[in-house]
Amino acid sequence: MTHIPRLAADHNTDDLRTALIEQGCCVVEHAVDVAVMDALANEMAPFAQYTPRGSNDFAGEGTRRTGMVVGRSSTFRTHLARHPVILTAGDHIFHHTPTWNLSFAHFFELYPGEPGQPLHRDTWKYGAPPFPFEVDLNALWAVTDFTEDNGATRLVPGSNHWDADRRPEPGEDLPAVMPKGSVLLYTGLAFHGGGAHTGKDTRLAVNAQHSAGWLNQTERLLLEFPPEAVADWDDELIAFIGYQLAGPALGHWRNAEDPFTAVEEYRKANPKLP
């Protein structure tokens, strides 16, 4: 019987790796405290109120997707972006790439009445034949409970191993029901889609996407967050949004320098007052 693997917050990391490699997905329950999710929702609300709803079936006419979460939510930066579950899962999935990074972080509001999103692989965004290995690892943080009624993401466990032309049959997808504070991880090759919202309360989530360092990021994070915007953040996080070399001779700036030096130069030119 197929199922979406479920792990407790204090799981064994081998089980996380096995779930992602064998099924292409898993839920880690209660990965953060519910208060973290409330703080994040409060930080994003002032921005989300101005976000238009989606304009097609995929983006969802009953869904708002608000970007720049990494800059707009200090809670995302301190509690979610580099959560140990993300780092451990990423190190397993991206073992064949020199670096990997955050690619996108959006705040999703799924409103009652939204129909189910078409099942898809997130790697379709590259518009290219599938890579022979995983290049994406994505996370959906449950900012509210995910229930079957409120459109919990639907997953097809094991579909990460399918040939490029195989498509899910009706009944093959399962809901990733999870309590607030949990996180759903799924690889770029795993078929999934937002569920139909037949309930009453808006389903809130943060979608954090991660990719091999040598791919274009989904969100132009370095345009949104130039050196002056990130100077006060943790160095690891700054590198993680893209201020790092992506390979032996890839992703440099100016005279073939590591992009992190741009942040160091900004800091030097703008010392903090004591």
Ligand X SMILES: O=C(O)CCC(=O)C(=O)O
**Whole-number Å distance between alpha carbons of 221 and 212:** 15
Both tokens of 203, joined, read 């389903």
Work out whether 62 is an interface residue with ligand X (CB under 6 A).
no
Residue type, 56: N
Nearer Cβ to ligand X (5/193): 193
Nearer Cβ to ligand X (77/192): 192
182 binds, among Fe ion, ligand X, none (CB under 5 to 8 A by kind): none
Q: Check: CB of residue 181 under 8 Å from CB of residue 228.
A: no
Q: At closest approach, how far in Å is the CB of 180 from ligand X?
A: 15
Using CB under 6 A as the binding rule, the residues of this chain from 136 to 155 that contact ligand X are 140, 153
C-alpha Rg value of the chain to the nearest Å: 18
3-state DSSP assignment of residue 142: strand
Work out whether 145 is an interface residue with Fe ion (CB under 5 A).
no
Both tokens of 272, joined, read 């903090």
Order of strands, sheet of 25-28, starting from the edge strand that comes earlier in the sequence:
6-7, 25-28, 183-187, 136-142, 203-212, 100-110, 63-66
Instruction: Considering only the stretches 17-25, 68-76, 189-197, 258-266, report the one whose residues sit in contact with ligand X under the rule CB under 6 A.
Output: 189-197
Question: Which of 109, 114, 122, 173 is in the footprint of Fe ion by CB under 5 A?
Answer: 122
Work out whether 100 is an interface residue with ligand X (CB under 6 A).
no
Q: Tell me how crowded residue 192 is: count the other CB atoms within 10 A of its CB.
A: 28
Binding mask of the shown chain, residues 80 to 119, with x at each position contacting Fe ion by CB under 5 A: ----------------------------------------
Number of residues that bind ligand X (CB under 6 A): 10
